[in-house]
Amino acid sequence: MFRDDTNQILKGLKQSPLRQFDQEVGQIPGIVKLTLGEPNFSTPAHIKMAAISAIAANESHYTPIAGLPELREAAANYYNQKFNLNYTAENTLVTVGATEGVSASFQALLQPGDSVIVPTPIYPLYLPLIKLQHATPILVDTSADDFVLTPERLQTVLDQHRQDHVKAIVLNAPSNPTGIAYTRSEMQALAAILKQEQLWVLSDEIYAELTYGQKHTSMGELLPEQTIVINGLSKSHAMTGWRLGFAFAPKDLMAEMLKAHQYMVTMPTTFVQYAAIEAMKHGQNDCAPMVKIYQRRRDYVREHLQQLGFEVARPNGAFYVFAKIPASFKGDSWEFARQLAYDQKVAVIAGAAFGPGGERYIRISYAASDEALAQACRGIAKLMQHTQQQPLTEAL
C-alpha cells in the first residue's frame, strides 16, 4: 500500500467469519448451504409490482433524508399495531437495511471510552461497529443460562463494570444465532434493571415477526425513552437484497441518528421506499404463511438433531437452530463445520463465529427448502455415524 497509516481499528477487524466460510464452502460442487440468514421465499408479488410502478413513474429522485414521509408514517403504524408501540413518523428513520440502522445508532450514541454490554453468542455485526466508535464491547456469555441474559447476570455484570462507563446494551431477540425469543416476563425483568441503570438499549428486532407459539415483546414498548428499535423488511417480507430497514428512537436521539445516516448513505433507494410503502400498508399478513412453513421446518430439523444426540437451544424464534455438538465429536465447531462441508457437502456455521458460549455449537438456518433440510440431516447423521465408529476402529 502507498502508505500504511490507514484506520488502525479497521485494520484490526476481520471480515465476517460467517461470510468468509459461506464463500469458501460455496466453491464445493453440489453443497447444500444452510449458512446465511436468507429466506428462500420470493418477495411478495404486490411489493414487487409497487417497485415496478415506481420505476415506471420515474420515482428516481432524492427523497427527504429520513425517508418518504408516507413511508415513515406507514412504518410507525405497522409496527405500532403489531407490537403495541407508540411511535410517530418523527420517531422513524428509513435505513439501508437493519445494518445501517445499527451503524447510525452506534455513531449517534457512542464516544471514545464508552462500553457496551453485548450478550453472546450474537450476530457478528455489533462488535466491529462498536469498536469503530472507539468504544469497548463487554461480552457476556449466556450459554450457562440457556442463552438468555437473566436480570441477575445483567446486574452482576453492571456491578463489575462500574468504572467502565457502560452506556448501552445490545439486545437481539428473537436471536441470531440461537433462535431464542425472550418471553414477555424475561423482557420485563431486564427492562426493570435497564431503566434503573439508565442504559440505552439497542434492540435489534429484525426477527420480531418470526416467533413460534408466542408473541414478540418489544423493548420499544417497555422502555420507549431509552430504546432504539431496529427492524426492517429483510426477514419478514423476504427482502434481504432490497436493503430496506427502519430505526425507531426518541425524537432527540433521532435528530443525531439522522446526521449519521445522512453522511453515510443520504437515504435508501427511492423506488425501494415506494415498494416499502406497499409492504407497510398492505403487507401486514405477508409473513404469516412463511411462519407456518418455518415452524414445520424447525420441528423437522430439531427432531432429527435431537435423535442424533444434539442438544438444541429453545428455538422459538427467527429461523435458526443452535445445536450442541455431541461429545463423541472431538474437534471444535469449526472442525465440525469443515468436515460436514467437505465430507458430506452440507454447510452450516460454527457456533464459535458468534462469540463466547458458541464454541461447541453449530447454527443451522432452516430458511431453506425441505429437500435441502432433509439432505442436511442425512449429512449430519453420516458424519456422526462416522465419528461414533472412530474409537472402535482405533481400538482395533
Footprint on this chain of ligand PLP (rule: CB under 6 A): 37, 97-99, 123, 125, 172, 176, 204, 206, 232, 234, 240, 245
Going by DSSP bridges, is the β-strand pair 32-33/227-232 parallel, antiparallel, or unpaired? unpaired
| Minimum distance from residue 50 beta carbon to ligand PLP (Å) | 19
- Report cis status (omega within 30 of 0) of the bond before 250: no
Distances (CA, A) of 118 to 19, 94, 95, 362: 21, 25, 23, 20
Beta partners for residue 165, in sequence order: none
Cβ nearer to ligand PLP, comparing 37 with 315: 37
Q: Identify the CA nearest to 57 among candidates 283, 270, 244.
A: 270
| Minimum distance from residue 210 beta carbon to ligand PLP (Å) | 11
Kindly give, in sequence order, each residue whose CB lies less than 8 Å from that of residue 15, ignoring residues fewer than 6 positions away: none
| Minimum distance from residue 194 beta carbon to ligand PLP (Å) | 19
**The dihedral sign for the CA sequence 233, 235, 239, 245:** positive
Kindly give, in sequence order, each residue whose CB lies less than 8 Å from that of residue 241, ignoring residues fewer than 6 positions away: none
Cβ nearer to ligand PLP, comparing 204 with 221: 204
Cβ nearer to ligand PLP, comparing 310 with 319: 319
Give the single-character DSSP code of 360: T
Answer whether 245's CB lies under 8 Å from 101's CB: yes
| Minimum distance from residue 246 beta carbon to ligand PLP (Å) | 10
Cβ nearer to ligand PLP, comparing 136 with 176: 176
Cβ nearer to ligand PLP, comparing 240 with 273: 240
d(CA 221, CA 204) in angstroms, rounded, equals 14
Cβ nearer to ligand PLP, comparing 265 with 308: 265
d(CA 359, CA 361) in angstroms, rounded, equals 6
> What is the length of the chain?
396
Cβ nearer to ligand PLP, comparing 240 with 333: 240
Give the single-character DSSP code of 105: H
Q: List phi, psi (to 5°) of 141.
A: -70, 120
- Cell matching residue 294: 418455518
| Minimum distance from residue 16 beta carbon to ligand PLP (Å) | 10
| Minimum distance from residue 19 beta carbon to ligand PLP (Å) | 10
Amino acid at 188: Q
| Minimum distance from residue 205 beta carbon to ligand PLP (Å) | 9
| Minimum distance from residue 244 beta carbon to ligand PLP (Å) | 7
Residue closest to ligand PLP (Cβ): 97
